Amino acid sequence: MFADYHVHTEFSDDSVYPMESVVQDAIQMGMDEICFTDHVDYGVKDDWNSGVEIRWRGNEPFANVDYPAYMEEIRRMQEKYSVLGHLALIRRYDNAGIYPFECIKPLVTEILQTVIRDGKGIEVNTSSRRYGLTELMPSEEILRLYLELGGTILTIGSDSHKPEQLGAYIMDTRKRLKELGFQSFCTYERMKPAFHDL
Ligand SMILES: [Zn+2]
């Protein structure tokens, strides 16, 4: 199974990549599945059933997030999402030294426990690799914590906005996740996770 579960098209403000070209390119690369995650502002379309990247207003920069409000948003979204992406936002500020992992660990633990309890998953976003970072997104600390807490549902996506980004670093990332101790990654079938060996 070769799948890219985070793909943007011209329907996102920051991409001009036509959806049909994305599909043709993916087929050319031998991909089995892609998940479109075009941006939508939360609350505009809540009946959208495909993969949609929901942005919480006010969560960038993460430093401005009021933690209880963030948790409340996640709880509120519970019925509407399958996989939580962009946990990486936390890491960005972690790198700047503002949020060392030990400081954010209680919040992250609570988020991950909520995700696991609700039968949802998290996304591993490979775009960090194209910025030259060797770290995964979310960080290995977060991924290890997820594993420790019993998390098994992971999707992997490139966050591609351009042809050269489609499918990038997915196979590498699978290898790394396996080294961390994960057994499988997921695709989705009618909103239910399907597990595939890493
Ligand atoms: Zn994205």
**Residue 70 corresponds to which tokens in the numbers above?**
């963030």
How much distance in Å is there from the Cα of 54 to the middle of ligand 1? 9
Counting residues of the chain whose pLDDT is more than 70, the rounded percentage is: 73
Task: Give pTM, 2 decimals.
Answer: 0.82
How far does residue 179's CA lie from ligand 1's centre (Å)? 26
Rounded to the nearest 10°, the torsion over CA 39, 69, 113, 76 is -60
Inter-residue contact 120 to 83 (CB < 8 Å): yes
Query: In this structure, which residues have their CB less than 5 angstroms from ion ligand 1?
Result: 53, 159
- Residue 188 CA to ligand 1 center (angstroms) comes to 18
Decide: 183 and 152 in contact? Cβ < 8 Å: yes
pLDDT given at position 79: 65
Question: In order of start, what are the domains of the chain with their CATH numbers?
Answer: 3-197 (3.20.20.140)
Sign of the C-alpha dihedral computed for residues 126, 97, 143 and 49 taken in this order: negative
- Minimum mean pLDDT among 69-78, 135-144, 154-163: which range? 69-78
Do the beta carbons of residue 122 and residue 162 sit within 8 Å?
no
> Strand, coil or helix: what is 66?
coil
pLDDT level of residue 87 (50, 70, 90 thresholds): low
The residue type at 30: G
